[in-house]
Chains A and B, each alone.
Chain A
Amino acid sequence: MAEEQGRKWDRCLADSAVKLATGLGVGIVFSVLFFKRRTWPVVFGLGVGLGMGYSNCQQDFRSPYLLHGHMVKEQ
C-alpha cells in the first residue's frame, strides 16, 4: 500500500509526459499545417496535453474515494 502512492505518481508523470508530448506534437502539427507556424497551436496543444495529464492524475489519485452510485428505477 505504501508503494501505491509511488506507483500512482509514476503513472501520472509518465502519462502527463506522454500527453504533453502528444499535445505538443499535435500542436506543432496543427501549427505547421493549418496555422502558418504560429506558436499558439503549440502552446494550445501543450496546454491540452498538460490538462489531460493533470486530469488523469487526479482521477487516479481520487479513485479509491469515488463512490459509484446506482440509480434504481422505481417501477
Chain B
Amino acid sequence: MLRVCLKGANSAARKCLCGNGVPLHPLQQCRSYTSGGSGSSAGKIVAASVLTMGGGVGGTILYANWDPKFRANVEKSIPYSDQVFGLALGPAAPPPVINKPRKVEPVQISSMSEVWKDSKQPKAKEVQRKAEQPDAEGPPAPAPQETLEEASAQVAQILSAIGEVPSVPAPGTHEAEAVPPPAALKGVPAAAAKCTECEHEPAVKERPEGEVAARLAEQDKAEQDLLTSLSSNLEDALGSTAKVTLQAIGAQEAALQAIAQHTRQLREAMEAEAPPDKKSTQWRVLEDALSERSRSVDEAGAAVLKAKAELDKLRGVIDGAKHLKIAAARPSILAAEENLHSMVVDLDSVVTRVQTAQSEAKIVSQYSELVNEAKAQFQKELNSITPEIQANWKGLTGKLTQDDLNSLIAHAHRRIDQLNRELAEQRVREQIHIDSALEQQKLEDKKALEVAISTALEHNREQMRLEQEKKVEETREVMEAEMRTQLRRQAAAHTDHLRDVLKVQEQELRSEAEEILNSSLMEKETEYRRLTQDQLDSFTLDMNAAYARLKGMEEAIDSHVIAEEEARKAHQLWLSVEALNYTLKTAALNDPTEPLEGAVQAIKESCAEDEFAQALATALPSESLSRGVYSEASLRARFYTIRQLARRVALIDETRNSLYQYFLSYLQAMLLFEKAQEAPPAKLSAEDLDTFKLLSYAAYSLEHGDLELAAKLVNQLKGESRRVAQDWLKEARLTLETKQVVSLLSAYANAVGLGTTMAP
C-alpha cells in the first residue's frame, strides 16, 4: 500500500513538474488507496472496539448476576439497563411484602357492601352520615393509651367490616379511654385520701397508685373482653340475620316471580284458544306453575318466619348489650340497631309486594276458577244435550250432524239469554257490590294507612332515639375529656408535692450518713495509726539486729580481704617470676631471649613494697634487661666454634703475635690432638692451665651442664685465645648472673606464697 502510495506520489511529483491540472488524480488515487488501506485498518479498529464493548457489557451483566447490589446501582445510574438486565437475567428478586391481614378487611367490606347496596341505598347514606359524626368526635379526643390501641383497632376493623363504615379507631380508643377515667376517678380519691398520710411514710404512698393502676388495667381488660365478646356476638347475630333476611327476601322475590309467572300463564291459558293437546300441556304447565308458586310461597313464608325469628334474636342480643351498659359498644349497638331496622323495613316491603302479587294472583285465580266453572257447566250442559260429543268440541265440526248442530245452537242461544239475564242482574248488583267493595276498600285502606303510619312512626321514633343516643355519646365524651384534664392537673400537683418532700428527706438522710461516715473514718484512722506504730517498732528492732550482723560480717570480710590481698600479691609475684622464667626459656638456638625488661617490670610492680624482691629485681644485669640472655644450649653450641678458634690461636699472646707465629699456631692446632672432653679435676694445677686442656675441661663441664665451671675454666685462658673467647665468656657470665637472680626470686616467691597460704 505504501509503495503504491509512494509511486503515486512520485508520479504526482513528476507530473507536477510537467503540468498542473493532472496531479490531482494520482493524489486522489493515492488517497483512495490510503483510505482503502486505512479502511481495513479502520475496520480492524472498529472490530476491536466492538469486541471491547461487548466484553465490557458481558462482564457487567455477569457481575450483576452475581452481585445484586451492583445490579441495583447500575439500574439506578444507567437508564433502560433494568430492561436489559430483565431480558438477560430475569427480574431482580423484590423484597418480601407482608400485606395479607390488610387485604382481608377490604374483601369483607366489598362483599358486604355488594350485599347491602341495592337494599340500603337510602339508608346507607344516613348510616354514613351518622358514622361520620363519631369520626368528628374522635380526633379531638386526647392521645390514646397505648395498651388499648391494638384491641380498639381490631374492634374498629370489625365494625367497618360489618357496617360499611370507614375504619374508626378514634372512637374505639376514645370509648376505651372513657372507661379508665371513671375507674381512675374511683381510684384517685382513695389515693388522695391516703396521700395525706404519706408525707411521713414514703413507702406507703407508692402502693395505692400501683393498685389503682392495676385495678384500672384489670377493668380495662375486663371491659375489653366484654367488648370483644359483645362485638363478636353482635357480628354473628347480624351476620346470621342478614343471611336469613337475604334468604327470606330472595325467597319472597322468587315467590313473587312464581306468582307472576303463574298468573301470566293462567291468563294466557284462559285467553288463548289452543288445540286440546296443547291445552292439556298448557294446563299441565299451569299446574306446575301453580305448584311451584305454592312451593315458593311456602318457602317464602318459612323464610320470612325464620328471618323474623332471627331479627327477634338480634333484637334480644342488642337489648342484652344495651343492658351491659358498656360505652365502647354503643356505636356498634347503634349500628346493629340501624341494620336491624333497615332489615325489618326491607323484609316488610318485600312481604307487602308478595302479598299484593298474591292478591292479584287470587283475583286471576278466582277469575280462572269462574271461567273454569262456567266452562264446566257449559260442558255439563253440552254433555247433557249431546252426550256423545267429547270435551274438545271445537275440533269436531266435521263429525257433528245437523241436529246436533241445531241443538248446539239452540243451547247456545239459550245460554246467551241466560247470561244476558245474569248480566242484567249483575249490573244491578254491581252497584251494591261496588259500594260495599268501596267501603271495604276504604276500611282496608284505613287499616293499611294506620299500619303504614304506625310503622313510619316507629321508624321515626327509632331514628330519633338513635340520634338522641348519639348526642348523649358526644356530650359524654366531651365531659370525659374535661374530667381527664382536671385529673391530670391534680396528678401534676401531686407529683410536685412529692418532689419537694423527697428533697427534704434526701437532705436529712445525707447529713445523717455523713455523720456516720465521719465517725467511722475517725475510728479507722486511729486504728490504722496504732497498727503502723507497732509495725514501725518491730521493724526498727529487726533493722538493728540486721545492722549488727552486717557489721560483724563486714569485719570478717575485711580481714578476709586483707589476707586475700596478701595472697594475691604473693600469687602475682610468683606469676611474674614464672613469667620471667618463661622468658628465659624463649631463647632460640642462636638468638638471645626476649628482653627481660617487661617481666622484670611486672615483678617490680607486683611487689612494690617488698624490698627484697625489689633489690633482686634491680640486681639483674642491664644487658639481660635490654637485650636478653643466651640460653645454655646456644652457649654450648657457640663454645665449639670458640674452641676451634682458641685452639688455632693458642700460641699467640703479647709477645708472639707476628704472622709467622700465626702460621705456627695454625700448624700446632692442626697437629695437636687432645681429648674432646676431659673431666676437670677438683683443683687446677699449673700444667692444667694449657689452652687445650682447659678447653677440653670446659667442654666436658658444658656437656654436663655446668656452665659456671666452664666459664671459670674459660676464664683461665691467656693471650689471643682469651681474647677470642672473651665475648662468649661475657655472655656466659650474663646468663649465669640472670639465672642466679631469677632462681633467687622464684625461691623467694615460693616462700612468700607458701607463707600466705598457711595463713588462717
Q: Which residues of A contact B (CB under 8 A)?
A: 1-2, 4-5, 54, 57-58, 61-62, 64-65
Contact = CB atoms under 8 A, between A and B. Distances in A.
Contacts of B654: 65
A31 B658 CA distance: 32
A61 B660 CA distance: 11
A2 B662 contact: no
Contacts of A64: 723
B216 to A, nearest CB: 142
B718 to A, nearest CB: 12
B641 A54 contact: no
B649 interface: yes
A2 B648 CA distance: 12
Interface residues of B, number: 19
Nearest to A60: B659
B727 A57 contact: no
| Residue from B642, B653, B654 with most neighbouring chain A CB atoms (10 Å) | B654
13 contacts: A1-B725, A1-B727, A2-B638, A2-B642, A2-B724, A2-B728, A4-B724, A5-B645, A5-B649, A57-B659, A61-B657, A62-B657, A65-B653
B167 interface: no
B386 interface: no
B659 A2 contact: no
Contacts of B725: 1-2
Nearest to B655: A65
A55 to B, nearest CB: 9
Contact of A61 (B642, B645, B662, B724): B662
Contacts of B572: none
A28 B641 CA distance: 43
B678 to A, nearest CB: 22
Nearest to B644: A2
Contacts of A58: 657-659
B726 interface: yes
Nearest to B654: A65
B657 A1 contact: no
A4 B646 CA distance: 12
A6 B657 CA distance: 16
Nearest to A64: B723
B732 to A, nearest CB: 13
A61 B723 contact: no
B648 to A, nearest CB: 8
A58 B663 CA distance: 11
Interface string B638-679: 100110010011001110011100100000000000000000
A4 to B, nearest CB: 7
Nearest to B722: A1
Contacts of B648: 5
Nearest to A8: B662
A61 B727 contact: no
B662 A1 contact: no
Contacts of A54: 659
Contacts of B652: 61
A2 B662 CA distance: 16
Nearest to B648: A5
A2 B649 contact: no
A26 B728 CA distance: 45
